[in-house]
Amino acid sequence: MTSLRRTKIVATLGPASNDLEMLKKMITAGLDVVRLNFSHGTASDHENRVNLVREAAKACGKEIGVLADLQGPKIRISKFRHEKINLKENDLFILDASLASDNGDTQQVGIDYKDLPNDVKSGDILLLDDGRLVFEVKSVTGERISCQVKIGGVLSNNKGINRQGGGLSAKALTDKDKADLKTAVKLGADYIAISFPRSADDIHEARKLIQEAGGDCGIVAKIERTEAITAIDEIIKASDAVMVARGDLGVEIGDAELPAVQKHIINRARALDKAVITATQMMESMIFNAIPTRAEVFDVANAVLDGTDAVMLSAETATGNHPDIVIAAMARICHTAEKQKLTQVSRHRVECEFQHVDEAIAMATMYTANHFNIRTIIALTESGSTPLWMSRIRSGIPIYGLTSSIKTERKMTLYRGVYSIGFNIDTTKDINQQAIQILLNKNIVNIGDHVIITRGDILGQHGGTNTMKIVQVEKK
Ligand code: PGA
Ligand code: MN
């Protein structure tokens, strides 16, 4: 029996992937979760995308998770009269919060984030267009920030502004985000990603808004600000998953800091029993090329070795030449990286005290599975929490999450090493036998295999898992 890929693939949808046939090819190539980027497009664009994804998923017989990524307070310049300008080193240039939004020229440009003059002071370094241009603040007078260009280049409409070291005070949820959040709930998104959170409070606020909108979407906190690194444990605890958002984060903390910070965020997320996505520029050259660079192969494989649950594609699948080929390449790299022993052995949290019964069962299961000849783990789950706990432990044994909840089925698409199966139980018959039969029918187990089944005495109860049983698969 060949092993399954454990690391999940998140792909951003866009013009290149708006088509049913392409989506089917992407799913066949290994897509697990789609990302709707709310920085682009209207509510109806996103609705059409979700409908297409659901249709393609149905045709392929695989559940696909939906992640709605809110734009957040990207701090941006406004527009130029003639779209773009060219700035040279030592030029003086003014960012002016009082300037009309389409009236920029070679001397000055407006800013969409009107509080910027209050947030910066002389000596600050501002990074524009993901750090391609660098300004030093010389003085702030009223609404005007006078800057000297340190690194010049082309500056065009609506480019982002970051401050080196972070500290810009914009709130994580803008009015647009609050409206988009309601749209995402309405579309049945499985996860909502919050951009630029500063603290756990931003996540709590989002959670409240999701509940008020009648949703129960998981929350992904995008770690892309210096402040978020300082508050990382609190943010992880408040969220369901985090994203190492290397694009903006690299601009704020400096690109050279990223590898260590990525490892730290992944370690903390796993230790705190949450999922983690590694994002941005993973296969950037494949926007155009049919094969990745060697550096991209190493980057994806290293994220797998770091322990990430999922790797993410952005422009590669949103606007790239061949989204399905990128996904196939990424799947191949993940799957091969997982053959390294280090991804399969665990220190088993021997020193940990467990807080919950289902958590203790999950840990006992993983210890047993890693030390006994077990083909698969079968977790009968309502909320998905037992499979999530299990998947925090490194292992080569597949974890099948069997659930009657379609929402749980889709949420589990993000968890490393967990495979969702929809399951309608007949409570009048032997439940373990029914679960095994499903896996037999799918050729996942063979007669004679040992499997571990976890479940609760009362099925359908959240957090109710209290038993594990080793069962040998028999002919019925
Ligand atoms: P974005 O977030 O693609 O929405 O900017 C990811 C990142 O910053 O890396
Ligand atoms: Mn970002």
Model confidence pLDDT, tens digit, residues 416-455 = 999 999 988 887 888 899 999 999 999 999 999 999 999 8
| Residues near ion ligand 2 (Cβ under 5 Å) | 224, 245, 247-248
pLDDT for 461 equals: 65
Using CA positions, which residue lies closest to atom 2 of ligand 1? 245
Please report which confidence band the pLDDT of residue 2 belongs to, taking 50, 70 and 90 as the band edges: confident
Give SS3 for 107: coil
250 has a pLDDT exceeding 60? yes
- Ligand 1 nearest atom to the CA of residue 37, by list position: 4
pLDDT for 211 equals: 98
Residue 307's contacts (CB-CB under 8 Å, 6 or more residues apart) are 266, 267, 270, 276, 343, 394, 416
Q: Which two tokens stand for residue 448?
A: 């004679």
Residue 284's contacts (CB-CB under 8 Å, 6 or more residues apart) are 296, 315, 316
Query: Which bound ligand lies closest to the C-alpha atom of 68?
Result: 1
Query: Which bound ligand lies closest to the C-alpha atom of 255?
Result: 1
Provide the 8-state DSSP code for 414.
G
Using CA positions, which residue lies closest to atom 4 of ligand 1? 71
Question: Choosing from 222, 268, 375, 392, which is the catalytic residue?
Answer: 222
pLDDT for 166 equals: 83
| Phi, psi of 417, deg, nearest 5 | 75, 5
- Ligand 1 nearest atom to the CA of residue 224, by list position: 8
From CA 274, how far away is CA 410, in angstroms rounded?
Answer: 16
pLDDT for 463 equals: 67
Question: Choosing from 25, 35, 49, 375, which is the catalytic residue?
Answer: 35
- When mean pLDDT is compared across 5-9, 13-17, 99-103, the lowest value belongs to 99-103
The whole-chain average pLDDT of the chain stands at 93
pLDDT for 473 equals: 93
Please confirm, yes or no, whether 76 is among the known catalytic residues: yes
Domains of the chain: 8-72+171-339 (3.20.20.60), 84-163 (2.40.33.10), 357-472 (3.40.1380.20)
Question: Choosing from 8, 76, 268, 270, which is the catalytic residue?
Answer: 76
- Ligand 1 nearest atom to the CA of residue 280, by list position: 9
Please confirm, yes or no, whether 280 is among the known catalytic residues: yes
Around ligand 1, the residues with Cβ closer than 6 Å are: 69, 195, 222, 224, 245-248, 279-280, 314
- Determine the average pLDDT of the residues in 18-31: 97
The whole-model pTM stands at 0.92
Residue 175's contacts (CB-CB under 8 Å, 6 or more residues apart) are none
CA of 154 from ligand 1 middle (Å) equals 21
Give SS3 for 222: strand
